[in-house]
């Protein structure tokens, strides 16, 4: 069984980058195996009590539900602290975590010195050389330690990445990561690994900015297994999950845009973007597959393939999202939008105005062409005479627009734009818009004649 997870921190609203990660993990889980037995988990990473907000937890749930990415189970790290304490104690006994006492200023000075000497700015493991007396002296001064995970420098870190291919890291070129603050609170790295083991996560898909984190976490998986942490039959591959790191989103200007971070799910919803448009774009962005308006989620699931992902940055274009949204709206049946339409728009009305909509929310403005009032342009004397004749010959039947234009073409000799444009302007006040063959029956005979007569004055 494939088990994936989406693990946001509730410190803000979900934006397009988060949504893309959530979607990829949902698609992989839903594709699952031949019997569709995959699981998609939501894990709220709320160990940072100072920055986490309950309102954002609620918003994350609402955003995923709106997109149709409902998880099979939900967990909260703040409710799993005992699990982390137990694992931490075992790592401590195994000598894989150690206390460090440097201040932020001292660490920054070390970093600058290393850079000045042309060395990589990694932690020098100074805390490991401290004696028990030195540690006791620090704590006597009221200096509480933070805790680091001790990387095994003798073990090359390697894994087969689902997107990037074979990955290898020399642990000696990485800093021993801080896993716990001096106040006892947890940072991201270790609890995430403990949870992935406990929840039997088999696949982790995330952005390429996490590649170096994965290198560290691979050793954490190994150390935890060796220390006896996790289920005996933990559902992971070779002691840790399969990893895939996708290229990050960039803007049209070619670099990561601050604007992308402000494109929250909430903002997109307020702009009238349909969930299907967002999913259609984010599912295929950065892959070799064409980005198309796909309303059928089963088709997105079937087409999801990590082998189609490229290494080049994935360019997010708001204009492309708008084009997809319009195409999705044009596919939507009346039953899908009935509750979102202004009163009075029936199935025929929706069918008439739908091709001219970019967002469902624009329906009210176009429906005004039927209900009025409309503002007509000024017409030439010749066009006013033409419209007066139109009012006289207007008849009603199965196809009033076709009958009207055919009669006028025969009686006046007009055709093309001189025939159709004045009629559209008089009846709708616009130069273009919905198909008049569908719109005119909705306007009705009396109102249509009244508009033609008013335009002819």
For residue range 165-223, list pLDDT tens digits in order: 999 999 999 999 999 999 999 999 999 999 999 999 999 999 999 999 999 999 999 99
Q: What is the pTM of this model?
A: 0.90
Residue 402 lies in a domain: yes
Residue 450 lies in a domain: yes
Residue 60 lies in a domain: no
Residue 368 lies in a domain: yes
Q: Are residues 438 and 415 in the same domain?
A: yes
Q: Are residues 347 and 257 in the same domain?
A: no
Q: Which domain holds residue 300?
A: 249-331
For the chain, residues with pLDDT lower than 70 are 33-36, 230-238, 253-262
Q: Are residues 442 and 367 in the same domain?
A: yes
Q: Binding residue per annotation — 255?
A: no
Residue 388 lies in a domain: yes
Looking up residue 350, the CATH number of its domain turns out to be 1.10.10.350
Residue 132 lies in a domain: no
- 3-state DSSP call for residue 385? helix
Domain closes at, from 296, 314, 331: 331
Q: Are residues 324 and 359 in the same domain?
A: no
Q: Spell out where 38-107 has E strands.
A: 39-44, 73-76, 97-100
Residue 233 has what pLDDT? 42
* Enclosing H/E stretch for 419: helix 417-428
What dihedral angle (degrees, nearest 10) is formed by the CA atoms of 91, 97, 99, 100? Answer: -160
Q: Are residues 448 and 350 in the same domain?
A: yes
Domain count for the chain: 2
Tens-digit pLDDT profile for residues 249-281: 988 766 555 566 568 999 999 999 999 999 999
Cβ 214 vs Cβ 163: under 8 Å: no
Burial class (CB in 10 A: 0-12, 13-18, 19+), 390: buried
Domain closes at, from 289, 314, 331: 331
- Whose CA is closest to 25, among 34, 38, 13, 16? 38
Name the DSSP letter for residue 186.
B
Q: Are residues 348 and 449 in the same domain?
A: yes
Residue 392 lies in a domain: yes
Residue 159 lies in a domain: no
**Residue 420: both structure tokens together:** 């159709």
Q: Are residues 356 and 404 in the same domain?
A: yes
Residue 261 has what pLDDT? 58
Cβ 349 vs Cβ 367: under 8 Å: yes
Q: Are residues 327 and 348 in the same domain?
A: no
Q: Are residues 383 and 284 in the same domain?
A: no
How far is it, in rounded angstroms, from Cα 157 to Cα 218?
7
Q: Are residues 320 and 409 in the same domain?
A: no
Q: Are residues 295 and 406 in the same domain?
A: no
Looking up residue 314, the CATH number of its domain turns out to be 1.10.1160.10
State the pairing for strand pair 3-6/178-180. Answer: unpaired
């Amino acid at each position: 069984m494939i088990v994936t997870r989406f693990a946001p921190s509730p410190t803000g609203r979900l934006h397009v980058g988060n949504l893309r990660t959530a979607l990829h993990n949902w698609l992989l889980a839903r594709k699952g195996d031949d019997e569709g037995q995959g699981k998609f988990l939501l894990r709220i990473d709320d160990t940072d009590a100072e920055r986490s907000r309950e309102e954002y937890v609620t918003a994350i749930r609402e955003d995923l539900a709106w997109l149709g990415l409902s998880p099979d189970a939900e967990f909260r790290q703040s409710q799993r602290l005992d699990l982390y304490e137990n694992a931490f104690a075992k790592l401590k006994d195994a000598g894989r975590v150690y206390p460090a006492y440097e201040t932020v200023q001292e660490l920054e000075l070390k970093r600058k010195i290393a850079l000045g000497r042309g060395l990589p700015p990694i932690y020098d493991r100074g805390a490991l050389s401290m004696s028990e007396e030195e540690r006791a002296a620090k704590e006597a001064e009221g200096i509480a330690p933070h805790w680091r995970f001790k990387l095994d420098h003798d073990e090359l870190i390697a894994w087969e990445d689902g997107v990037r291919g074979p990955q290898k890291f020399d642990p000696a070129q990485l800093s021993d990561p801080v896993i716990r603050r001096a106040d006892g609170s947890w940072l991201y790295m270790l609890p995430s690994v403990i949870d992935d083991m406990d929840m039997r996560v088999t696949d982790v898909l995330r952005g390429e900015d996490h590649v170096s984190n994965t290198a560290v976490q691979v050793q954490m998986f190994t150390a935890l297994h060796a220390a006896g942490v996790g289920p005996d039959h933990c559902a992971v591959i070779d002691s840790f999950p399969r990893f895939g790191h996708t290229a990050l989103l960039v803007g049209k200007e070619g670099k990561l845009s601050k604007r992308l971070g402000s494109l929250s799910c909430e903002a997109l919803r307020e702009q009238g973007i349909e969930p299907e448009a967002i999913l259609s774009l984010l599912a295929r962005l950065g892959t070799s597959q064409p980005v198309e308006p796909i309303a059928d989620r089963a088709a997105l699931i079937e087409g999801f393939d990590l082998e189609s992902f490229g290494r080049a940055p994935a360019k997010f274009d708001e204009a492309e999202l708008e084009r997809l949204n319009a195409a999705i709206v044009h596919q939507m049946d009346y039953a899908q939008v009935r509750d979102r339409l202004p009163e009075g728009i029936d199935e025929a009305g929706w069918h008439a105005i739908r091709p001219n909509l970019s967002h469902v929310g624009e329906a009210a403005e176009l429906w005004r062409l039927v209900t009025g009032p409309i503002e007509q342009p000024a017409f030439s004397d010749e066009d006013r005479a033409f419209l007066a004749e139109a009012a006289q010959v207007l008849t009603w039947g199965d196809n009033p627009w076709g009958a009207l234009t055919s009669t006028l073409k025969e009686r006046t000799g007009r055709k093309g734009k001189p025939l159709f444009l004045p009629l559209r302007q008089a009846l709708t006040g616009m130069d273009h818009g919905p198909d008049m063959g569908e719109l005119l029956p909705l306007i009705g005979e009396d109102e249509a004649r009244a508009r033609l007569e008013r335009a002819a004055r």
